[in-house]
Every structure is written in C-alpha cells, then in structure tokens.
Amino acid sequence: MSIKNNIFEIINSLPAHVTLIAVTKTQPVEKLEELYDTGHRLFGENKVQEMVDKHEKLPKDIQWHLIGHLQTNKVKFIAPFVSLIHSVDSFKLLQEINKQATKNNRIINCLLQIYIAEEESKFGLSYAEAEQILNSIELTELKSIKIIGLMGMASNSNCKEIITKEFHQLNNFYNKHQNLTTNNINFSILCMGMSNDYVFALQNGSNMVRIGSKIFGERQNAFR
Ligand SMILES: *Cc1c(COP(=O)(O)O)cnc(C)c1O
C-alpha cells in the first residue's frame, strides 16, 4: 500500500468533523514530500529539532503540530511557525510559549495534555492540575496563547475496556469545560486517538486524531 492509498482510506473512514494529523516523526523528508503531494497539510512531529529541520526543507504551507513533550528552553525554536502545540503539561511551559509568541507577534494555539493512561511513562497533567490552570487568574494575563482544547494518550493496551474508559473520562472533562470561555480559553478540539485506538477515541468524542504508522507503516524505532 502507498502513503496515498493509506491516507485516503483513513480520511474516507473519518467523520467529516474529525481532523487528521499525519504523524511524520522519524520519517525521512522524501516520505513527507510524498504525503504533501497527496494534498495533506497537517503534519505532527514529536521532537523540536526534527520539526525545525523538516520545516526548513519543506513547503511553507504545511501546518506543523508539536505532539511530543516540549522543554521550555526549546519553545523559541518552534514559536515562529508552530500551528498547534498538543503537549502543554505545565503552567511554566505556557508562560514560556506566551513569551515566545509575543516576541514573534503571534498567538500560539495550545492543547493541555492530560495524563489519562495507567502507565508511568506518559507526560501530562492530572485532571486536578488542568482544572487549576484553567481557573487561574495568572492564565488570563497570557495574551499571546490560546487554549483551544485537550489532548490525551490512552494506555498502550489491547484491552478495549481500559482504553474506552480513559477516552470516556477525558471526553467528560472536555464537555464540562466547553463553556468555560475566557480571553484565552475556547475549547473546540478534543485530540485523542492513534493508529491502534482511534476507532475507540472517535466513539468517545474525539475530533482530532494523530496517526502515523497506519499511514507510513511501522516505525523502525518502536520507542519513537
Ligand atoms: C507517535 C505518536 C502518535 C502516532 O502513533 P501511531 O501509532 O504511529 O499512529 C500519536 N501521538 C503521539 C503523541 C505520538 O508520539
């Protein structure tokens, strides 16, 4: 199967209101060009340096989504062009994104990443921590960011019940905050679902999915 066939098959299977982020991490630039030629423009990367390098080499109408853990000292490298940061997991990081967005004269859209899995290894905020950020007075002072929704990764499990429970809880939390509109909060995106679990994510309210291996085939390094 080609990249083109794979992506068309996925897009055709998604409801119209669902946005597909093609996860291009670890793929060489030639594969990204092949993807670009299908007309797709939403690319997701999980490492800052890799995203910066690929951004330099590829056409400028690609929208780059940062889906992996972001260190505060690296925000400056992506601030000029990033389209959406999925992985906000601290207020300190939001402050730095705000600072760099201001420097670049832009407003940077962000998702709060919520820790929904049972495993230890995933980054993200607890529901309580997210609640605290969303309700903080300090947040209202960040004029150059916008929190437009939530992101979560389910447990790496074959158990449908576990995955469904995790997506369902995040959906509930999302729904609870959908009307919490402020100067810089306005939810419209619930980003859940990867190649192996997006079907369950869609059943539980996801409207943005991040899919890599189903488009490109299995990655060489399973840890990335
Ligand atoms: C790698 C990655 C994906 C895509 O994973 P696939 O299983 O290849 O679809 C989605 N989200 C994040 C945060 C990732 O790091």
- Per-residue pLDDT tens for 133-177? 999 999 999 999 999 999 999 999 999 999 999 999 999 999 999
pLDDT of the residue at 122:
64
Helix (H) or strand (E) holding 83: none
Nearest by Cα to 190 from 161, 162, 170, 214: 170
> Which tens digits make up the pLDDT trace of 180-203?
999 999 999 999 999 999 999 999
Q: Which atom of ligand 1 is nearest to the CA of 86?
A: 13
Buried b vs exposed e over 74-95: b needs ≥16 C-beta within 10 Å? bbeebbebbbbbbbbbbbebbb
Residues with CB under 6 A from ligand 1: 23, 25, 46, 67-68, 153, 194-196, 210-214
How far, in Å, from the CA of 64 to the mean position of ligand 1?
14
| C-alpha 42 to ligand 1 mean position (Å) | 14
Alpha carbon of 137 to ligand 1 centroid (Å): 33
Q: Which pLDDT belongs to residue 123?
A: 85
DSSP code at position 125 = B
Tell me, in angstroms, the distance from the centre of ligand 1 to residue 195's CA.
7
The percentage of residues in the chain with a pLDDT greater than 90, rounded to a whole number, is 93
Residue 121, pLDDT > 80, answer no
Which atom of ligand 1 lies nearest, measured to the CA of 23?
4
Mean pLDDT of 116-124: 81
- Cβ(85)–Cβ(151) under 8 Å? no
Q: What's the CA-to-centroid distance between 194 and ligand 1, angstroms?
A: 6
Per-residue pLDDT at 43 exceeds 50: yes
Q: What digits encode the pLDDT tens for the residues 76-103? A: 999 999 999 999 999 999 999 999 999 9
Give the pLDDT of residue 44. Answer: 98
β-bridge pairing 208-211 and 108-115: unpaired
Q: Which atom of ligand 1 is nearest to the CA of 68?
A: 13
Q: Whole-model pTM?
A: 0.96
Query: 104 pLDDT exceeds 70?
Result: yes
Beta strands in 80-175 (DSSP E): 84-88, 108-115, 145-153
User: 211 CA to middle of ligand 1, Å?
Assistant: 6
For range 117-123, the mean pLDDT: 76
Mean pLDDT taken over the chain: 95
Buried b (16+ CB within 10 A) or exposed e, 143-171: ebbbbbbbbbbbbeeeeeeebbbbbeebb
Instruction: Say how far apart CA 41 and CA 59 lie, in whole Å.
Output: 10
- Please say if the pLDDT value at position 222 is more than 60: no
Q: Which residue has the higher pLDDT, 217 or 55?
A: 55
DSSP string, 26-79: T--HHHHHHHHTTT--EEEES-HHHHHHHHHHS-TTPEEEE-S---GGGHHHHT
CA of 68 to the centre of ligand 1 (A): 9
**Residues listed for the chain:** 224
pLDDT given at position 114: 97
- Residue 224 pLDDT level (bands cut at 50, 70, 90): very low
Q: Report the atom number in ligand 1 closest to the C-alpha of 21.
A: 10
Residue of 194, 221, 223 best suited for mutating to test ligand 1, as the one with most atoms within 8 Å of CB:
194
Q: Closest Cα to atom 13, ligand 1: which residue?
A: 67
Residue 41 CB partners (closer than 8 Å, separation 6+): 61, 62, 63
- What is the pLDDT at residue 220? 65
Q: Which residue's CA is minimally distant from atom 10 of ligand 1?
A: 210
